[in-house]
Amino acid sequence: MPGSGEATPAEVTTYTHPDMVVDVYAPRGWEEDTSGADRGLFIYLSDDVWNEQFRPNIVLIQREAEPGTESLDKLAATQGEVEDSFGEQLDEYRLLHLGEDTVGLQGVPGLQRIASYQNPDGIPLTMFQWIAVHNGTHVDLTITYPTELLGERAQLILNMGHGLLWKESAK
């Protein structure tokens, strides 16, 4: 993938789990941690450790939607608290973008957040997050990469967010 950031079909796969309301499109060979599936938490870790210190990752959190968050406007209104918590918990947190986007192949209306921060080792990271409520389930998909790799991986990251496949069983 020299510089393009686009993975060929042989380099990506779809990760699925019976408890997930979406299937996740991501690079092949990532470590799957589904130990939190009963709580709606699914983690995927890159097989490559960047700079011997950080593994790019995907965190999918799903939960029953809060009443009143079904519309995009209402969902957006809840993001102030989220921003406050990120600012308190993440070093050098900086919001780069928060706006409307579609989430998944079905084009579910949602939000996209792009932000930068530093991990405890001082490594600059960038997170891409997609947030949506669909069929009564709130989903947060967060993809985090070292900022230095964004030139190579930006298109892949966008493809992952837009490549979620909402399952019919989502309630």
Residues 42-94 pLDDT 10s: 999 999 898 888 999 999 999 999 988 888 998 998 898 899 999 999 999 99
Residue 2 reports pLDDT greater than 80: no
H or E element that contains 92: strand 91-103
Residues 111-151 pLDDT 10s: 999 999 999 999 999 999 999 999 999 999 999 999 999 98
Structural domain boundaries in the chain: 9-166
Nearest in space to 145 (alpha carbons), one of 132, 136, 154: 154
Query: In the chain, what is the straight-line distance between the N-terminal and C-terminal CA atoms, in Å?
Result: 38
Distance of CA 71 to the CA centre of its chain: 20
Q: Give the pLDDT band of residue 9 (cuts 50, 70, 90).
A: low
- Distance CA(163)–CA(29), nearest Å, equals 17
Domain spanning 9-166 has what CATH number? 3.40.1000.10
